[in-house]
Amino acid sequence: MSSNNGETSHAKSNKIVNFIESKLIQEDTIKAQKVREKQLTYIVRKSAHAFIYIVLAIFVSAILFAFNKKGKHSIIYILFICLIYAVIDEYHQSFIANRTSSVGDVLIDFGGVLIGVIFFYLAYYLVYERYRRYAINKALKVPKYKHFHYNKI
């Protein structure tokens, strides 16, 4: 995504913006429409940044969990890996034609990472706790007998 030049990246964003605008009925002046389009383009582009890093954080979390790396230390690893990737990605963008790198984008990316980690941990522990309780209840379940007889000697 970051290796696309500025024109390609802008064209992808504009497809989404045009779709959203086509669904909205507007009776504004041309100037107001251009301002709204600029604002909408900004929101779409920044939301795409956050969404990509939400997905990245979920994937990194899943990979670490697959290798049984869980807990506080894994959260630090996930945040560090994703932050380094965001910084490298922004640095890489500085070399692409018509693209700029921005500390603000890194912060938006990191916000997406935080959301992704929170989402993954909530989903994992909700499923895990439900399964764990089910397994414990199933393991501790003692068959009930209507009539229990002791062997008398």
**Is 145 a member of any domain?**
no
- How many separate domains does the chain show? 1
Contact, 34 vs 62, CB < 8 A? Answer: no
Pairwise CA distance, residues 89 & 1, whole Å:
9
- 130: alpha, beta or left? (left if phi > 0; alpha if psi -120 to 50): alpha
**Is 151 a member of any domain?**
no
**Is 148 a member of any domain?**
no
**Is 129 a member of any domain?**
yes
Look at the pTM and tell me if it is higher than 0.85.
Answer: no
pLDDT single digits (tens) 77-101? 999 999 999 999 999 988 988 888 8
**Is 41 a member of any domain?**
yes
- Residues of the domain holding 128: 6-140
The predicted structure's pLDDT at residue 90 = 92
What's the mean pLDDT when you consider all of the chain? 82
pLDDT single digits (tens) 26-40? 556 667 777 778 888
**Is 152 a member of any domain?**
no
